[in-house]
Amino acid sequence: MNLPNKLTASRFVLTLGFLVALFSGVRWYETVALVLFIAAGITDFLDGEIARRRKLITNFGILMDPLADKIMVCSAFIAFVGTGWLEAWMAVLVVARELAITGLRLLAASKNVVLAAERYGKHKTISQIAAIIAILVLHAYKDWGRAGEVIFGFELINERAWVWWFVQFSVWSAVVLTFLSGWMYLWKNRALYLHDM
């Protein structure tokens, strides 16, 4: 197994560790979950970058890289519903979008058509990862002592830390981009499924 594939496989392990940490309730569990998720996000960037530069693209990577991304992101959004940090409908939208696009790609594959990833889909993934990290920071920074309070805790409006406002912006941006990218992808490739209706 080459290095990019090892990084892809490690993302499954890091996602599992993130979930265990998030629901463990041990001291600083939010911070541990944050570190593990950031590590998983870094592997998401590195595996593709290394594979392209060293020409190590494999069928395993083509299949498992996007699957690891979807599991990582969907697991986090679902987990945040369980912790009460996110509205359920937002997680449903994210998961539904990922399932719909995966289904479309399977349908395309059955017709020997390859659907390439779109640029706005990549922007969507970045926005989702940013939103997840922002949510984790919001719940972890108070454990970081004076440094966390100084950096993230100063008040701006309605006695809310500025990071709270950043989280709202990040989450809504991710939700909107998730919906729009999914709708655009389904619309652009509508001939694949409308033909069979």
CA 162-84-181 angle, to 5 degrees, is 75
State both tokens at 59.
């069928």
User: Residue 119, Cβ neighbours under 10 Å: how many?
Assistant: 8
C-alpha dist (Å) from residue 33 to 28, 71, 134, 163 = 9, 16, 12, 18
Please, are residues 177 and 123 in contact by the beta-carbon 8 Å criterion? yes
CATH of the domain at 128: 1.20.120.1760
Please, are residues 134 and 173 in contact by the beta-carbon 8 Å criterion? no
Q: Is 168 exposed, middle or buried (0-12, 13-18, 19+ CB in 10 A)?
A: middle
Give the count of domains, the chain: 1
pLDDT at 76: 97
Range of the domain at 138: 3-194
Against a cut of 0.85, is the pTM above it?
Answer: yes
The rounded distance, in Å, linking the Cα atoms of 105 and 85 is: 31
pLDDT at 116: 67
Averaged pLDDT in 10-residue chunks for the chain of 197 residues:
91 97 92 96 89 85 86 96 96 95 85 74 89 93 77 57 84 95 91 76
pLDDT at 172: 96
